[in-house]
Structure 1
Amino acid sequence: MSETETENKDPEMDMEVLLQQQTYEKLRLYVLVAFGLIVCTEYYVKFLSKQKVRTSICSGWQFVIEVLNTLGESYRTFRMESHVFIKLANLLVANYGLHPTREMRAEEALAIFLVICAHNHSNRTLQTRFKHSGETISRKFNEVLTSLVAFSRDIIRPPDHLFKEVPSKIREDYKFWPHFEGCIGAIDGTHVRALDGKGPLMILAFSLQHRKSYKGKIYSHIPPQGKYYVVDAGYSNKKGYLAPFKGKHIRYHLPDFRRSTQPPTGFFEVFNYAHASLRNVIERSFEVWKNRWRILFNIPSYKFSTQCKVVVVTMTLHNYIRKNALKDEEFDKCDEDPDYMPNVEEEDDVDGGTHGDYQSNYNSGDTDDNDDDNDMAIVRNNIASSLMSRSSI
């Protein structure tokens, strides 16, 4: 091929390559634009476009105002009286990081959270009631949850860490005073349906307020010298933990005594009856707590850390209501009748059995007392002797 022919073809080849490059760049630009449009559309639909599919004239905030101003409705809907609700909202805003936003007042966010915990309603049900998107409902739930977790550190704790004062329930009741003067609270476990299938162990004061919750065994927590918690038959009589007498034909649970026409008899049963009557505070508190917050019967499939927080903040709300409510239907049942017995469905105990299992265990003599502490055995025997002396007067 001559040099003249080569010179004539090179410009043609260069032009063809240039056109191909231009076509490729156009296609690449079209793809990027299309991808950008898809991303922008998804962002707009998810975060900016709030579809107004709910057109009720009553907004979420108007619903809250209506509930708070209707006699008895605040207790039914939010599980607390109006003045308690308003005081709590102000406290969370002032001290625990709950802030109003352009889209929602703090009171409405708190109302959403309380309705979920009180009635275990779904996100979609809350969308219909409060006229907000599912994303907003979820976000506000978590904001209030975080605020209440911070509050829990200040309210789920004993008022006196040295326990210098004897609880009024003991001091003012001849059935317990002065026999149980060293008692500072009651401990038991309850089942909360969560992802791991276990529930918290709880320490309660005799005012029906939660002091602390634990996951697992708690014997590492030793009360001050001379003080102890009353515990169920499923626990050993260790230092700081006063358990009942166990064995064949020895009654302990209150229903066993109340179903029988025979009163408590003998050294063991006289002690067990007084011990069970004192420890009954925790059973009543469990009922108040669970009956108020129905979410505890079947916590939704939140991640496990969130489920744990729900348990803690419902305890927080339980304590707050107890301290601030002038009148409360659930607590009043317990205050009016000191022998009030809860009527709850049988539930799994935190150690894998049920309360009924503990009942059959100690009645059949299967429980092992080898772990009992000698000092606590002396405390228990002294209390039993004191109770027997009183009964013989």
Structure 2
Amino acid sequence: MDQQDKELRNDLIMWDRRRKLAVVQVVFHVVYWYMQRKYHLKKYVDHPINYLEREKVRIELMTKLKCIKYCRNITRMGPQAFQDLCHILERDGGQKPTKRATVEEQVAKCLYILSHSVKNRNVSFFFRRSGETDCIGALDGTHVRVKVSSKDVPRYRGKKGYPTQNVLVACSFDLKFTYVLPGWKGTASDSRIIKNALTREDKLKIPNGKFYLVDAGYMLRSSLIPPYRGVRYHLKEYSNHPPENARELFNHRHASLRNAIERAFGVLKKRFPIIASTIEPTYSVNTQSNIVIACCILHNFLMGVDPDENITAEVDKELENQCQTQQMTRAPRDTDKDAKQAKLIRNVIAATMWSDYVANQE
């Protein structure tokens, strides 16, 4: 073979490599463009991260992807192949870090979507940055005693044995209330109240792609994620028996986070015993409802300027000593598109948690 043939052969090999690289790059850009268009990732452009934060994200992500099992589960390739691909795309394909993501994160997201056929909102759980999360808090109901006429007592007498109003409350993880809906009769079910809260004029607003943690009595929605039913849940159940599968791990962490609403209730009622008393109040239901809202507003103010760690510690100790049993109220079965999407979201989160948990045990 003469020199001209060798050069021609080398040119053909180089052309073939560039063609394959171009295909990979086109696929990558199409997927990333689709993510931006369909899931409105543009809304984040105005909030750039600085170099140090970007480096922190890269280091955290690359540290996880150094584990062969974790890397293969996420990207369908080993750590070295993943690093080589990122390097080639950056060196020869012109791929660059953006204001919101490193090259490694962009490639890992793309590979995960291609390999697992999931949507961007499902991917964001474990690709989120510090300070960003899809889970924005916890939501539950609490009963507050009320004074009603004798004929209305049966409609207000719920599980407490005396007339109460069922108050729906949502809180963030800093124990501040983000939504309060008082006034429902004590016999009203949680599912009925939450449906009203999501549709009324002054409704509970949950940003697209975000969700609250709720107990097993609530319906499964993309914005309301309960634990898996029939699986160990409360923290004490895991004290001497660690999780054995993805669903148990999900429930364990779900309980740890959803505990925020119980803590918020506890602090609120210790600060303002008027809504914790089991003695029949002297106020009407409407007045008592307004009192609940006023106490929640004051609670939020005080949590910002005077949180009183002694009260919080006292509540935490009481919750730790409580012998809790999971509420197994039968939640309505939803079979619509949103419920199916919510099931997928929960399963993806659980599987990702378990993969990370197993990888870190090795």
TM-score by length of 2: 0.49
Between Structure 1 and Structure 2, whose CA radius of gyration is higher?
1
